[in-house]
Amino acid sequence: MPDQPRRVAVTGAAGRLGRAVTADLAAHGYDVLSLDRVRPAEVVGQFLEVDLTSYGEVVEALAGVDEHRPADAVVHLAAIPAPGLRTNAVTFANNARSSYDVYAAARAVGIRDIVWASSETVLGLPFDTPPPYVPVDEEYAPRPESTYSLVKVLEEEMARQLCRWDPGLKMVGLRFSNVMHVEDYAQFPAFDADPLLRKWNLWGYVDARDGAQAVRLALEHPARGADVFVVANADTVMSRSSASLVAEVFPGVEVRGDLGEHETLLSIAKARRVLGYEPRHSWRDHV
């Protein structure tokens, strides 16, 4: 049989990140199976409506249904994407259950490559307790401050244990910063007026196209096992220097290394080093 392109199931395909990820994967030759409980405005590849809190539906979706062939890999983005959108118990029930179902169904049908959306929140957002040092990175224990974030930490732990059970499995968790599309950049210059306005995530962001790049690189990353990476853009949302922001808002917090003028305070050094991630977009090119 001729080689078929790799089929990647993308959950949350209708979402902010999902639409960028599905477009990027399709542009790079992947066969995309878009999964969501909502139909995307523009369907990439094939679409199958799935409620991820129904394990049977997830198994069938990944194993193949009628004209949908089985998936070779999974990108799991679906979630209630922030604290405070729904009640905490609803967020927990939807997000934790969906992730368990996706991870377990993937294993059940023999999928070994799973890339999934963790979150910058596990680094201690909104930083009412100052960060241990900046730029923050993957080296300190998670500090979830909300139920939403707590679920991301539980998912990171679940990934570690599942990979311990099954050393052939790869589960890459991407701790995305605040996802932005080009149309969001018009509001950025207004952030400068108040340094406290975006202090909650250390003035970080990630362009959806760069987030998609990180997903693709994580899919192609050959290592096995569980790992996590902070994924942000190379710069902050501010015109002021990163050093002056830290000095004013987090006096006394250790600054590690030499900070570039607008350098991100959410370190992407590990993603650069291990995945070859390099953000290609900046809000500064659009405003």
Phi (first) and psi of residue 16, to 5 degrees: -55, -50
CB of 127 to ligand NAD, least distance (A): 15
Contact of 120 with 230, CB cutoff 8 Å: yes
Site residues for ligand NAD, window 79-98 (CB under 6 A)? 79, 81, 94, 98
CB of 176 to ligand NAD, least distance (A): 4
Helices (H), the chain: 16-27, 55-63, 88-108, 147-165, 208-220, 242-249, 269-270
Instruction: Give the separation between CA 214 and CA 231, rounded to whole angstroms.
Output: 7
* CA R_g for the chain: 19
Q: Which of 22, 91, 147, 178 binds ligand NAD (CB under 6 A)?
A: 178
Site stretch for ligand NAD (CB under 6 A), options 44-52, 62-70, 128-136, 266-274: 44-52
77 belongs to the binding site for ligand NAD (CB under 6 A): yes
247 belongs to the binding site for ligand NAD (CB under 6 A): no
Toward ligand NAD, which CB reaches closer, 116 or 250? 116
Site stretch for ligand NAD (CB under 6 A), options 2-10, 36-44, 154-162, 186-194: 36-44
Which residue is closest to ligand NAD by CB?
15
Site residues for ligand NAD, window 9-28 (CB under 6 A)? 12, 14-18
Toward ligand NAD, which CB reaches closer, 157 or 254? 157
Instruction: Give the separation between CA 239 and CA 151, rounded to whole angstroms.
Output: 33
Instruction: Give the separation between CA 61 and CA 57, rounded to whole angstroms.
Output: 6
Contact of 116 with 173, CB cutoff 8 Å: yes
Site residues for ligand NAD, window 103-122 (CB under 6 A)? 117, 119-120
Sign of CA dihedral 206, 208, 209, 214: positive
Contact of 8 with 72, CB cutoff 8 Å: yes
Judged by the rule CB under 6 A, the positions of this chain that interact with ligand NAD are 12, 14-18, 36-38, 50-53, 77-79, 81, 94, 98, 117, 119-120, 176, 178-179
